[in-house]
Amino acid sequence: MEKQDYDGSKNLLHRMIGSSVHAKKERADEDFYATDPEAGFMLYSQLEELEDTIVDNSVGAGHLVRDFPEAGFRVIGFDIVDREKIVELSEFYNRDFLQERPQGMNNTLLGLDKFSIVMNPPYSKALKFVQKSLELQKEGGKVCAFLKIQFLEGTKRKQFFKDNPPVRVWVSSKRIKCASNGVFVNEKGEPVQSMACYAWFIWEKGYKGDTIVKWFN
């Protein structure tokens, strides 16, 4: 399948991509930063082998997984906000993924045989989303998180990485856009520019070896 560039809608109000250095008043609503679908396309087409069922636990409007259904994946989405989607999901649950439990009727993932988790979670809660994903994932299952490269730093995350080392970290050599409130163009109708370096962090539940860093894009 050929990838198509994504520029977003020119009929929306426009903002530059958010970063952690922005003031709170400049942050997107509900910390919603839509990911250029190119990131998801490259994940499954070039970087990683994924299960047929994909769980995006912070799906937003579906930008990250836009190309997955056409490639034959079943996509299940979670989000606390039911936004208008740019892709038709197999299933959508309008609830907080962080409240899912390993056991009990509220856990949608219990009935799945195998699945891969693919996400770009709110950065302020990124560690919690990764921890919850590993908690709910089955042994050997993948958790793929598209995060700022700065996620590697921090004393709190240092211990987490020691206990839960990623199998691989794929660093994007080119900047990939994550657009505030899903707006990929500025007031002049021009594509916004990315202000941050992003990477795909890949965990396989139970892995305890060294992390390999690679580059793509």
Q: Where are the domains of the chain?
A: 24-216
- Predicted pLDDT at 68: 98
CA–CA dist 192, 117 (Å, integer): 28
Q: Cα 81 to chain center, whole Å?
A: 16
Instruction: Give Cα 110 to chain centroid, integer Å.
Output: 21
Strand, coil or helix: what is 117? strand
Q: Which residues contact 131 (CB under 8 A, 6 or more apart)?
A: 160, 164
Per DSSP, what are the bridge partners of residue 182?
none
Instruction: Note whether 168 and 216 are within 8 A (CB).
Output: no
Helix, strand or coil, per DSSP, at residue 134: helix
Question: DSSP character for 47?
Answer: I
pLDDT at 17: 34
Global pTM? 0.83
CB count in 10 Å sphere of residue 144: 26
* 8 Å CB contact between 204 and 141: yes
Alpha carbons 143 and 130: distance in angstroms, whole number: 8
Domain 24-216 CATH superfamily: Vaccinia Virus protein VP39 (3.40.50.150)
Residues of the chain with pLDDT under 50: 1-25, 27
- Residues with Cβ within 8 Å of 139's Cβ and at least 6 positions away in sequence, in order, are 205, 206
pLDDT at 198: 96
For residue 185, give the 3-state DSSP assignment: strand
Short-list 125, 117, 118, CA closest to 151: 125
Please check whether residue 126 is in contact with residue 203, taking contact to mean a CB–CB distance below 8 angstroms: no
pLDDT score of 26: 52
What is the C-alpha separation between 141 and 134, in angstroms, rounded? 9
Separation CA 68–CA 89 (nearest Å): 9
SS3 97: helix
206 Cβ neighbours under 8 A, 6+ residues apart: 139, 140
pLDDT of residue 214: 98
pLDDT score of 104: 60
Given this model, what pLDDT does residue 182 score?
Answer: 55
